[in-house]
A = this chain, B = another copy of it.
Amino acid sequence: MTRDTASDIDLLCTQARSAARRLAGLPDETRRDALIAGAEHLRARSGDISSANAADLEAAAQAGLSSAMIDRLELNRPRIEAMAAGLETVAALPDPLGETIAQWTAPSGLLITQTRIPIGVVAVIYESRPNVTADVSALCIRSGNAAILKGGKEAIHSNGMIADVLTEAFSACGLPSSALQLVRSTEREATTALLGRDDAIDVVVPRGGPGLVRAVAENARVPVIKHYEGVCHVYVDRHADLSTAEEIAFNAKVRRPGVCNAMETLVVHSDVAAPFLAALGPRLQDAGVELRADERATELLEGARPATPEDWTTEYLDLILAVKIVDSVDEAIDFINDNGSGHSDCICTADQESADRFLAGVDSAVVYQNASTRFTDGYEFGFGAEVGISTNRIHARGPMGLRELTTYKYLVHGDGQIR
């Protein structure tokens, strides 16, 4: 790491802690107004944002990035408008702070109040799409946290301009000028330096591919809220309504295969495997899905190739589906717990006993009865926006919205109690 980068990170950490203390004391109105002003300013400065984005797009083309990656990088007018509207949506959400979570009087006579407060300094490390800069800023500021953001090198100009525009608007509304800070260094060591600063950063959220998440989880001393892959399952029970199950499975696999809440493995009860796979299999194949099946399913699915052990634990993010046949709901539960990633899993069944068994037994952040796994999403959950989908077990599981960016403290009122 160059000396410049090291001293940049030092300064950024010091400023973030100071900003967090000031933010925690600001009224709801100030935080809300700042986001509304930020939205207006994004619109007013859309020309500058487009110019900055053009520099990223040119660099991406020169570097030979894929057209899919270039598409994700592009900020056209509708996408800038969507970012602005996103800020307004978050501004309109209820204040997540100040809630009394619990209150009681202890035997000593002390009145104990557990109250909701910001976490403090939140770092988010992400890739590719520059709109994340605006989304995550909005959620952090609305919940009273100072944000340290590190985006991908490929979006450095776009992210920098968005952060500058938002900071101008936020500062004009009375927010500390360091409430939102973007790491401008493209050195990898800048990330390493951030991840070691558990004195200054309260939590880090890696949001991106499994490589990014793993690197952060392995190197961080700062507490991490991991956003790992989704190896999601749909289990079709012997008591399933087969046409409903077919729609759910088709949707969960085909609608948007590249996202973490898409189905990767279909699990089918042996009693219904023959008719169910006879209907769904060709439909999936017509949609371009490659099938990798266990021994019994291979016999029922023409053109399917045999699955290898790795198939059961792979997040394809593609039009590929693993298919497994089981003989009971318990076998399905064990298979999913052993091979899944604890993200989102579904049982299709009309039998409430099987459903209850599955919902209790599957150890995942979100467990569905009769609905597509694709609903694991902050917007669909009604959170207005999301930092991402946590695969952590502590603090936050599943979609992370405003409340998941808060913690609590105890306020204790006494009249001279000693012990």
Contacts and interface: CB of A to CB of B under 8 A. Distances in A.
Contacts of A369: 411-414
Contacts of A255: 418-419
Nearest to A249: B418
Nearest to A419: B374
A398 B251 CA distance: 45
Interface stretch (A68-76, A78-86, A185-193, A355-363): A355-363
Q: Is the interface of A mostly helix, strand, loop or mixed?
A: mixed
B112 A365 contact: no
A244 interface: yes
A104 B188 CA distance: 43
Interface string A358-396: 011101111111111011000011100000000011110
A360 B118 CA distance: 12
Interface in A394-419: 394-395, 397-398, 407-419
A119 interface: yes
Interface string A212-226: 000001100101110
Nearest to A358: B411
A350 to B, nearest CB: 10
Interface string A223-266: 11100000000000000010010011011100100000000000
A416 to B, nearest CB: 4
Nearest to A417: B371
A63 interface: no
A7 interface: no
Q: Which range contains the number of A residues in contact with the other chain?
A: 35 or more
A2 interface: no
A118 to B, nearest CB: 10
Contact of A416 (B244, B411, B414): B244
Interface in A105-151: 106-108, 110, 112, 119-120
A224 to B, nearest CB: 7
A280 B244 CA distance: 76
Given A112-B381, A359-B411, A393-B407, A418 B366 contact: no
A218 B217 contact: no
A402 B366 CA distance: 23
A41 to B, nearest CB: 30
Nearest to A410: B366
A273 to B, nearest CB: 20
Residue of A25, A247, A366, A419 ringed by the most chain B CB atoms within 10 A: A419
A157 to B, nearest CB: 33
B412 A223 contact: no
A203 interface: yes
Given A217-B221, A360-B25, A416 B367 contact: no
Interface string A265-303: 000000000000000000000000000000000000000
Interface in A307-353: 337
A252 B104 CA distance: 23
B415 A370 contact: yes
A168 interface: no
16 contacts: A24-B363, A104-B382, A106-B380, A110-B371, A112-B381, A119-B394, A198-B217, A223-B224, A241-B416, A255-B418, A363-B409, A366-B409, A366-B412, A367-B412, A371-B418, A375-B414
Interface of A: 21, 24-25, 104, 106-108, 110, 112, 119-120, 198, 202-203, 217-218, 221, 223-225, 241, 244, 247-248, 250-252, 255, 337, 359-361, 363-372, 374-375, 380-382, 392-395, 397-398, 407-419
The 8 closest A-B pairs by CB, nearest first: A371-B414, A251-B418, A395-B395, A371-B417, A244-B416, A394-B395, A366-B410, A374-B419
